[in-house]
Amino acid sequence: MSEQNRYSWRERMTILGDVEASSFLPWIERHAAKLGLSQAICVAGPDRIELDVAGPAELIDMMEMGCSLGPIDVWVETIRRTPIDNESS
């Protein structure tokens, strides 16, 4: 699979809940790296984290599942996903 095809799907993931724990952002970065996803944190606050992720859709699904479950010191209420227009890149 070419590098261009590998990262052809991009989404903005908005994680809502009690996500203030200092461990969560590094956890997100490690989890994305383990899945081979490109990610960039856009907004980080006590009740909201927004990140852009790129990679195969199935792995982005796995990222969502992972974020909804762990780590133990955060409480994720909901995760919203919005496709990012690939035409403007």
Contact 42, 85 (CB under 8 A): no
DSSP percent split of the chain into helix, strand, coil, nearest 5: 35, 35, 30
Q: Dump pLDDT digits (tens) for 22-68.
A: 999 999 999 999 999 999 999 999 999 999 999 999 999 999 999 99
Dig out the tokens for 89 from the structure. 């890149």
Contact 53, 65 (CB under 8 A): no
Query: Is pLDDT of 2 > 90?
Result: no
Q: Show the domains of the chain with their CATH numbers.
A: 3-84 (3.30.70.100)
